[in-house]
Amino acid sequence: MVKEKIIEDFINAAVNMDIKSAKGACKEAIAKGIDPYEFIEQAINKALVIIGDKFENEEFFLPELFMA
């Protein structure tokens, strides 16, 4: 499904600190009419949880946390 692909693309981009791709996924979500609240809940929140877990496990450090 298109929505799930966009959400997955955003999560991967955010976790990999690929700002250009994350921004592109956000623009694509808007273009496809995905509800912004739903996108925040399903994509941004999940990405931040993954990033937080990586920080907790010492895979990411403060610079990566601030970038997120």
In this predicted model, what pLDDT tens digit does every residue of 41-67 receive, in sequence order?
999 999 999 999 999 999 988 888 788
d(CA 20, CA 61): 21
Number of domains in the chain: 1
Mean of pLDDT over the chain:
94
pLDDT given at position 64: 83
- The residue to which tokens 């999940």 are assigned: 46
Domain range for 17:
2-67
- Asked whether residue 25 carries a pLDDT value surpassing 80, the answer given is yes
> CB atoms < 10 A from the CB of 46, how many?
16
Rounded to two decimals, the pTM is: 0.89
Q: What is the CATH number of the domain that holds 53?
A: 1.10.1240.10
Task: Tell me how far apart the alpha carbons of residues 15 and 31 are, in angstroms, rounded to a whole number.
Answer: 23
Is the pLDDT reported for residue 68 higher than 90? no
| Residues contacting 27, CB < 8 A, separation 6+ | none
Residue 37 has pLDDT above 80, yes or no: yes
DSSP label of 40 = I
